[in-house]
Structure 1
Amino acid sequence: MLLFKPSLLTLALAAAGASISAYAADDVQTTETAEENIEVIQVTGIRRSLQESQSLKMSSSSIVEAISAEDIGKLPDVSIAESLARLPGIAAQRLDGRANVISIRGLGPDFTTATLNGREQASVNDNRGVEFDQYPSELLNRVVVYKTPDASVMAQAIGGTVDMQTISPLTHGEQTFAMSLRGEMNDLGSLNSGSEDTGYRGSISYIDQFADDTIGIALGYARMMSPNQEERWQAWGYPENAEGDSVLGGAKPFVRSSELERDGVLAVFEYAPNEQFTSVVDIYYTKFTDDQRLRGIEIPAAWGSNGGVSALTTENGLVTQGTINGAEVVVRNDVNKRDADSLSIGWNNKYTINDNWRVEADIAMSKADRTDIGMESYSGTGRGTGVGAVDDLGFAYNGDGGYDFTHNLDYADPNVIKLGDPLGWGSPLGPNTQDGFINKPEIEDELNSFRLSAEYIFDEGAVRSVEFGVNRTNRDKSKLDKGYYLTLAGYDGSDNYLETVPDQFLLSPTSLDFFGMGDVLSYDSLAFYNAGGYTETDVADVDLSRATNSWAISEEVSTVFVKANLESELMGFPLTGNVGLQAVHTDQSSDGTVATVEDGNVVLTPRTAGDSYVEWLPSMNLGFEVADGQMVRFAAARTLTRARMDKMNANVNFSYNENPNDGVNWSGGAGNPELRPWLARQYDISYENYFSDQGYFSLAVFYKDLENYVYDQQSAFDFSTILPQGPDDNPIGLVSQPQNGQGGYVQGIEASLSLDFGLFADQLEGFGTILSGSYNDSEVKETSDSAATTLPGLSEKTFNATVYYENAGFEARISSRYRSDFLGEVTAISLTRVNVNVKAETVVDAQIGYDFTESGIDALYGLSVQFQVNNLTNEPFTSYTGEDARHVRDYQNYGRNFMLGANYKF
């Protein structure tokens, strides 16, 4: 058997210019020998990335997975989330065609924590989950996923911790200038008037050292203008008809064109005047804008069609063909726009007092802001139902992405389709006066932290060292959720007032041929709105639930920790690892409102509530080297993940019933500012066999015993605590609110293999493969008699496969990732988030390139070119309602993205 050679891995790590985060700093050993021989082995491209990732996995005291950059500014995939989704036990959910959030070991984004250089990050998300497409991959050096925590990890979570790491300029050790530029094209073309199907992404990085290598800097800038096109079919639902068959309730198909613009800036300043002291300041900033134009048509069927549906054909309980009689449709011209900014600043200082004592101080700030605009603009043939021209629409199930239609009206004719409220969806200024709607939510999130720690190193004994310290984190996050009904500014109060789209806002018609509806009227609805085309009515003035959508959460978390690092022998086997304990004190509070209706108006009263608690989190990681290059690891820990912030708000809305049947006068809905975190006891065992410097096999089994879970439950509530004078009758009522309830378990098994085919024959030199798979299972019940709760983000099966070739400058790679059905979180009406069933998918990416450094042409040294195809097989994203996968809720066809570009480094 070929045995693992530690010197080669250490050499690869040093050659990559690695900067290890606080998590792994004590686990990776560097030697003068490796430094002296750094030019003996030339490792480049994919293989260098694999070697460094393997060395990180091998040398860590925890069970980890890692991704390393092939070169400066060159991670393996276009986005961090796509790279993470190739790791064992990790799956990504796509948003608008790009990987956005991840699940680790079957636990969704709510159970995952993201850090940058070991520091927890604020999020533009409504909750805590980080949206990884906010982080340009060009500015990151590596990503490490910690599946088991230790006591020094301040931002641990039940699912796992994703640590994104920037480069250390002093460890890199040489002056480097790198740039990249690539063009991008989507093969669906420009689906909407004025949209683009081409874009670009580029980056530039500079690393240098000064003053006898005591000062180092790393500067980087990345910019992306990425097009995205989508053909999308949505259904209202599938009610049962009189015969008990499921029939289409209605549909909302459309095409979406978006332009994603992102700018990222990185700056790292490192100062090491001597071997005892190191000070590092790192700054990471991104600005993210996503401008989406959506044009389509909304079609009532079994729900809302005046003439009903007829001439039905049924197959296995589903109506697959028929006619919608007298259909009144709504032509939609919508806009979704997001502006988001993220800023992270950290300052880390390490000082070695003597051979036994080290101290460290770290201070950091992470801030994120987001502003959304979600606008809907309606047009049709009349104001309200039973007024305008109607159409008889044929529909037929296409077996994949919903239904295909036939039609008779010309939906692109501005003399037929006019601005108004065709279906009477709202009455802010009288009957049928909702001509559109606009949502304007805003998110602000700020997280400040300070950590002070020390390490005492023993001269001898089984305990190599003891670390201890304190960490304080303050977090403030708020959401201001504003929404407005839109009514045409020229509306005169007449029953059938419609308005022809002004010529200056008209655009070329949009084709909906992908499901048979031909062209539809297109106009710049946002420009019409900005020009004063609509008047606004605040939804919060008339809607109780909307009045309590805004909230503010504050958390103060103080952590005291101690960890003993072990290095000994047990029964003749070398033993490394750690045992430790955290004491975590949390003080949480929320500012919200109490909302009720008086004389037809919503009345708001401020409310503040919260709680404080202490949790004890022990942890243990043990690694046994059972043979050369073979490691068996055991890990056990108690972990916590803090509750969703939108569940922790202090809002209450309620109503009073004078004559209740159950004797309860007061009822309503509320958040829960006293909500406790999810807690779990987790156990892991893994076997890792490193049989070469670029090859390993690992097998891991895990079990997470969830102590609790959060359910929406009805509970008794004392209304005298929120009403100024208290109720005259019984103050105890019922509210529906999230509560900590009974838990359950998540368990699974993972396997991965990295193999260099050159081990078997010289003719296969340069070929290799990376394979991984996992199986997850869970059972979480509200009560012992209730049905099991489906965990968001849990796919029972995931598989990843990459085959690559790299030799003499040529590089080729094809990668495939599969995840089975899962419960995903998507955007619903009014930009709210809901859980839906997502269909299994297999996403395939491919790339090919050449590095001219290997060509022998001096003038081209440092230049490489690359061609990539994302979503090679054009895999759609499909969600469905209920258990029948034919009940397609949402079918999204993104097309393929092609990229051609070059990288240059000197």
Structure 2
Amino acid sequence: MLRGRHSSKLMPLLAGLPLPLALIWSAPAIAQTAASGAPAQTPAATAGTASANDQGDLNEIVVTGVRASLKSAEAIKRDAPEIVDSIVAEDIGKLPDRNVAEALQRVAGIQIQRNYGEGSSVAIRGLTQVRTELNGRDIFTAGGVDILNLEDVPAELLAGIDVYKNPSAEQIEGQLSGVINFRTRKPFDFDGFKFAGGITGNYYDLADKTGPSGSVLMSDRWNTGIGEIGVLADIAYQKDYFRDDQITTEPFYTLNQSRNPDGSFVNPSDAATAAAMGRSGQLTTIPHGGGLNKNYGNRQRFGTDVALQWKPTDTLDFTGEVLRNNYKFNIRGNAFFATTGDGPITPLPGADFKFASNGDFISGTWEDVPLGSYASLTTRDSTTTDYSLKAHWTPTSNLEITTDGQYIRSDTSQSNFIVITNGPNTVFHQNISGDVASFSTIPASQTTNAALYSNNGFLDDFSNSVGEEKSGRLDVKYSFDTGILKSLRAGFRYTDRTNSTRDTGYRYSSVNGRGGLENYDLSDIFRGDANVFGSVVTFPLETIGNYANTLTAFGLNGAPPFLPSGSNAQSQQTYAEYGAAYFDASPLSIPLDGNIGVRIVQTNLGVSGYYQQVPQIAQPDGSTATGNPQYAAIAFQDSYTKALPSLNLRYHLTDALQLRLAASTNLAAPTFSQLNPSLTLTEPGPSQHAEIHTATGGNPLLKPMTSRNLDASLEWYFSDQEYVSVAGFYKKINGYIQTAITPRDITFPDGKTYTYQVTSYTNAADAEVKGAEFSFQQFFDFLPDPLDGLGLQANFTYVDSQAPSPATSGPVTSVPLELLSRYSYNLIGIYEKGPLSLRLAYNWRSKFVETTAGVGTGNLPIFDQPYGQLDGSLTYQVTQNFSLGVDARNINNALKLSYFGIATRPRTATISDRRLSVTARVTY
């Protein structure tokens, strides 16, 4: 446990100490200090150090646990020359949340996305163009995302996370919204030998499973004949389970009742449908069906971190580190649906229909609606290994030289299997008036009679991605002993990064037969509170969970082959140089310090891939199967140079009150997946003709996005653990990349033509993002015992943005940027007294755009409704070296809802597990 103490009487003096931390806490210096063997420790390591002057004060407050971590985080925020927020592990290997993304959601200005109940990605101040770093260096997951997938890393490997919201010239380019730097521990962080270990049991209530996690850290340092040497090893393992229940209404279409000049209907079918519901001449939007998904899965993380530090002299130190992380993801589940896809849907004659005032469907009954189900399995296996070596040399008291080299390799393999089962046409009733849609078939037995169903198709797909990067940098800092100019800094960085992907594409195999199907009980979906199908017929999950058994079930031999046409590659070389001046005007009796600099980046880019069509070939028995693809190679190259100036100012209004002002230019290149020129169009099999046909491809003509930023922050630190801050920001973005869907008519070699909804990317018109943040942190030590252990963290974020919607007409013509909520807040109650520590955290965000154009929406955006989740934790320090803890996630059983364009067109309702964890930890 990190421990320390302070005197409440000395707080005003401590808050006003003239600390020259503008020289220490620049972005590279944070990474350098954390990774070097310099005697100075990071705030995370020194949070518990007691001042000698504190020993005799009778009003001392012992700072441990959560308070120690918040004290360290506040010190980083207060003393950094940029606008920074930090999360510091309250103990070795223990962030305040078990998941990295979920820990980040507690930071003002950050909003997270959840994937099957767990935080997976973040946006900073409304933008997802975030840069991830490990100890100030690149870190990414192969597959074209260009950043680290935040699901991949065990939180136990990290000492802390720093979030930079405005850049300085030293910081590596590649973001519009901010930098997330993950810090690991080093052997010189500790005075000598250190051991920490923990084991956790996690129970997931929907999945009804328990998964283990654990971590062990060992570190020591020695004085030897060749200098001081330190070695650290950290190992972390997690096995998590989940279940995800979802009820869906889709797709929606507005009936076309317009007439030709001769008076005839443009779409007679739509006109007849409107007349059958008594809606002739009235604006009418109806769904074409609905369904549900019930998915089971697990995540497995195994991470190791080994660091070696060597300090041969007082002026020279070396740090080498190898971090390896393996992430495995597995999800299998069933989707059961009644839908006509993009084909017309027929009202049941005489049925009662209800509509909202705007003409959107509320409830009604349809006839002749096809039933069907999917059984699916998706897996991902990612391994990222990061090798780094750094040397830090101070030949004189004024000169510092740092060199840094890195090699990183990331491998990702994915597989997707889908079994299509077709059922009879049925009478289908649905009601979407509540948060959770209800529906049924008439008669209800049509969902349970296996004799009415047959397997009509099997799809399998495999992909492999490999990403590599070699980089090197040189940084030089010269400090001045007197004067306003405190230091000059300059540096150079080179990177060579590649990404290659092989994909078999989906192989469609036409399979027929009723054998092997089973009834699947859905009575417990949504914890038994949903009014939907109670049981359905589907392909067994146990069989699809084993690929070899699935192939045997359908008489197939082997996996689909990797063909040259299924490959794509990207390469990127960057050359960056910077210069920066750090200054302090206090010699002129002006309490102002800051830095000004410019970073110049040249980028050379190359992408290659294939356009291909995969036809269906008739078989002798009358069935069809996937044929050989027809393809053409595509290649593009691009090069550009950008100058990125930055200015950071800090004005000390009083010893405890400071004002920050910053102006900068950021650059974010399109991701490799967005640039991927490949597009594969697979001809539908017989059972897929009535479905909506989709494809996804990149756009190699995309240009980098740039943003011009203005930031301001007013911060009052009324103790070393307590503060209030208010920040404002404005970003003007040029060439913002947005999702768009374009219909394309594709003709295959057999002469058949199908319309595909092709999702791709475009540099939309300029966008703006502006907003404000409020943060508050205080412990109420002035309250009487036992209430003096109470504390509160709170933050609120307002973000306003606007960009054109791909839809040019209809109810939505402009939208916020994707994944951006206008409002979000965190309320975290803390109680820490003696051996007991309690924490209750509620995170809430307002509605946001999931995608600016969704399939089946008429090119309308898909919105997620407001979402709030309550989490809690309790820790009891049994002895100085042993503690027990309990964590609970999703205590309020939060419901996630989405809709098409406007709230009267609901899309999905989703619930995920509540998790209960019990942890035992030992620290020596």
**TM superposition score normalised by structure 2:** 0.81
Aligned partner of 1:369 in structure 2 is: 411
Match of 1:403 among 417, 432, 438: 438
Instruction: Say if 1:843 and 1:82 are closer, same or farther in 2 by CA, change over 3 A.
Output: same
Give me the whole-angstrom Cα distance separating, in 2, the residues matched to 1:804 and 1:451: 42
Q: Is the 8 A contact 1:144 1:164 kept in 2?
A: yes
Q: Describe the SS at the equivalent of 1:239.
A: strand
Aligned residue identity for 1:864: S
Q: Please, which of 398, 412, 416 is the counterpart of residue 451 of structure 2?
A: 416
CA contact (8 A) 1:406 1:516 kept: no
**1:74 matches 2:94:** yes
One-letter amino acid of the counterpart of residue 780, structure 2: F
Q: Which residue of 2 aligns with 1:121?
A: 139
Q: Secondary structure at the match of 2:892?
A: coil
Cα distance in 2, alignment partners of residues 678 and 827 from structure 1 = 20
Structure 1 pair 33/759, CA: closer, same or farther in 2 (3 Å)?
closer
Give the structure 2 partner of residue 566 of structure 1: 583
2:896 alignment counterpart: 877
- Which residue in 2 is equivalent to 1:237? 251
Q: Deviations over 1:713-741 (max 9, x none)?
A: 999xxxxxxxxxxxxxxxxxxx9985545
Partner of 1:805: 831
The residue type paired with residue 451 of structure 2 is V
Residue pair 2:355, 2:363 contacting (<8 A) in 1 also: no
1:415–1:776 Cα change, 3 Å: closer
Report the 3-state secondary structure (helix = DSSP H, G, I; strand = E; otherwise coil) of the residue aligned with 2:673.
Answer: helix
User: Is 1:615 the counterpart of 2:642 in the alignment?
Assistant: yes
Matched, 1:220 2:259: no
Q: Does 1:529 align with 2:529?
A: no
Contact 1:183–1:201 (Cα < 8 Å) also in 2:
yes
Q: Is the 8 A contact 1:201 1:224 kept in 2?
A: yes
Q: CA deviation at 1:782?
A: 9.0
2:263 maps to none
- Between 1:56-65 and 1:590-599, the stretch displaced more is 590-599
Matched, 1:182 2:183: no
Instruction: Give the alignment of 1:127-138 within 5 angstroms.
Output: 127-138=145-156
RMSD: 3.8
SS at match of 1:618: strand
Match of 1:287 in 2: 326
Matches within 5 A, 1:354-503: 354-381=396-423, 389-397=424-432, 399-406=434-441, 408=443, 410=445, 415-416=450-451, 418-421=453-456, 435-487=457-509, 497-501=512-516
Instruction: Call closer, same or farther: CA 1:549–1:791 in 2, change over 3 Å.
Output: farther
Give the whole-Å Cα distance in 1 for the aligned partners of 2:48 and 2:125: 39
Alignment partner, residue 744 of structure 1:
767
Give, in angstroms, the shift of residue 402 of structure 1.
2.4
Deviations 1:231-281 (A, max 9, x none): 111232122451233333122302111111111111111112232111111
Deviation at 1:308, TM superposition (A): 4.2
Structure 2 equivalent of residue 903 of structure 1: 921
Partner of 1:250: 289
Task: State the secondary structure of the residue aligned to 1:758.
Answer: coil
3-state secondary structure, aligned to 2:67: helix
For 2:116 and 2:92, how far apart are their aligned partners in 1? 28
Map 1:718-733 → 2, pairs under 5 A: none
Provide the identity percentage: 24
Could you tell me how far apart the structure 2 residues matched to 1:454 and 1:834 are?
A: 51
Q: CA deviation at 1:711?
A: 5.6
Contact 2:699 2:760 in 1 (8 A): yes
8 Å Cα contact 2:196-2:921 kept in structure 1: yes
Match for residue 850 of structure 1? Answer: 876
Question: What is the CA–CA distance in structure 2 between the aligned matches of 1:697 and 1:250, rounded to whole Å?
Answer: 51
Map 1:561-640 → 2, pairs under 5 A:
561-569=578-586, 572-595=589-612, 603-640=630-667
Moved more, 459-468 or 390-399: 390-399
Q: Of residues 769, 775, 795 in structure 1, which corresponds to 2:792?
A: 769
- Looking at structure 2, the residues matched to 877 and 58 of structure 1 have their Cα atoms a distance apart, in angstroms, of 36
1:307, distance to aligned residue in structure 2 (A): 5.8
Paired letter, 1:405: S
2:176 is aligned with 1:158: yes
| Residues 611 and 673, structure 1, Cα contact 8 Å, conserved in 2 | no
For the 8 Å contact 1:486–1:537, the answer to whether it is kept is no
Q: Cα distance, 1:309 vs. partner?
A: 4.2
Q: Distance in 2 between matches of 1:613 and 1:353?
A: 37
Structure 2 equivalent of residue 730 of structure 1: none
Of 5, 10, 32, the match for 1:22:
32
Asked if residue 333 in structure 1 is aligned to residue 356 in structure 2, the reply is no
Q: Secondary structure at the match of 1:628?
A: coil
Residue deviations 1:282-301 (CA, integer Å, cap 9, x gap): 22211111111112312116
Aligned equivalents of 1:477, 1:566: Cα separation in 2: 41
In 1, the alpha carbon distance for the partners of 2:698 and 2:602 equals 22
CA contact 1:607–1:651 (8 Å) conserved in 2:
yes
Report the CA distance between 1:405 and its aligned residue: 2.6
Partner amino acid for 1:517?
Answer: F
Counterpart position of 2:720: 693
Q: 1:105 to 1:592 in 2, by over 3 A?
A: same
1:684-705 per-residue CA deviation (whole Å, 9 max, x = no partner) reads 1111110011100001111112
2:861·2:901 contact (CA, 8 Å) conserved in 1?
no
Partner secondary structure for residue 22 of structure 1? helix
Structure 1: 5+ residue runs without aligned partners? 191-196, 382-388, 422-434, 492-496, 655-667, 716-734, 854-860
Deviation at 1:155? 3.8
Q: Does the 8 Å contact 1:350/1:361 carry over to 2?
A: yes
Aligned to 1:791: 817
Q: What is the one-letter code of the residue matched to 1:871? A: N
Counterpart amino acid of 1:877?
Answer: K
Task: Please list the CA deviations of residues 551-578 of structure 1 after superposition, one character each: whole Å capped at 9, or x if unmatched.
Answer: 2111000001111121222873322221
Residues 318-373 of structure 1: CA distance to partner in whole angstroms, max 9, x if unpaired?
43333333443113221121111122221111011111211111011222222222
Q: Secondary structure at the match of 2:68?
A: helix
Q: Distance in 2 between matches of 1:460 and 1:801?
A: 45
Does the 8 Å contact 1:379/1:417 carry over to 2? no
Partner of 1:551: 568
Answer whether contact 1:418 1:501 (CA < 8 A) is retained: no
Residues 128-186 of structure 1: per-residue CA shift (max 9 Å, x gap): 24321211110100000000110110145210000000012212223221111111112
Amino acid aligned to 1:67: I
Q: 1:593 to 1:331 in 2, by over 3 A?
A: closer
Compare 330-339 and 633-642 and name the one that shifted more. Answer: 330-339
Query: What stretches of structure 2 of length at least 5 have no aligned partner?
Result: 1-8, 56-60, 256-273, 618-627, 682-694, 743-757
TM-superposed deviation, 1:52: 0.4
Partner AA of 2:408 in structure 1: S
Shift of 1:463: 1.3
Which amino acid in the other structure matches residue 790 of structure 1? P
Deviation (angstroms), 1:408:
3.2
Partner residue in 1 for 2:264: none
Q: Which amino acid aligns with 2:631?
A: L
On the 8 A contact 2:353/2:365 being kept in 1, the answer is no
Instruction: Check conservation: 1:875, 1:893, Cα contact below 8 A.
Output: yes
The answer to whether the 8 Å contact 1:302/1:309 transfers is no
Say if 1:88 and 1:184 are closer, same or farther in 2 by CA, change over 3 A.
same
- The SS at the match of 2:418 is strand
Report the equivalent of 1:427. none
2:116 maps to which of 64, 81, 96 = 96
Distance 1:210 1:827, change over 3 A: farther
Bigger drift between 680-689 and 435-444 goes to 435-444
Distance (whole Å) between structure 2 residues aligned to residue 464 and residue 866 of structure 1: 47
Query: Is the 8 Å Cα contact of residues 407 and 517 (structure 1) preserved in structure 2?
Result: no
TM normalised by structure 1 equals 0.82
Q: Is the 8 A contact 1:395 1:403 kept in 2?
A: yes
- SS of 2:781's equivalent? helix
1:3 aligns with 2:12: yes
Structure 1 residue 872, shift from structure 2 partner: 0.8
Partner AA of 2:550 in structure 1: Y
